[in-house]
Structure 1
């Protein structure tokens, strides 16, 4: 089942580590899940908007999952366009 099949309220953004039938990888050498590691790294590096964070972490997660774990892992973002510019953190 995909996230797009759920009714998500207009003021809610959903970020998930993988698509419905995939298994999310751990990133043992970094002490986090693969998705969590790149999400935290993006925030630490100064990324504050939901859409920008997703655009940063998605290719990193996909590449490391494929290269290191021979696994397909595709992070998902479901959000109305206006929320993609929403700040996660005020600095």
Structure 2
């Protein structure tokens, strides 16, 4: 994907772009993530997910999608319970 200057886009365009990236990561023929828990609070989506098509000792992650800043942050965990606990501290 191309880099996007967030200052050149309206808030609605940034929101649409980030939601498109979210959909791309979770759907299609080769999804990247499988959601286990998702909550949206305003312009932020909080999610726990499992990485797909990756060999790793930490297959779960806590993901924070900021819709207006076009940003994604994640942290990897060994178990789903650890990821959920960490995500609860962020919410």
Q: Fold match, TM over 0.5?
A: no
Q: Which has the higher contact order (CA 8 A, sep 6+)?
A: 1
Question: TM-score, structure 1 length as denominator?
Answer: 0.31
Bigger fraction of residues in helix: 1
Instruction: Compute the TM-score of the two structures, normalised by the length of structure 2.
Output: 0.31
Structure with more strand by fraction: 2
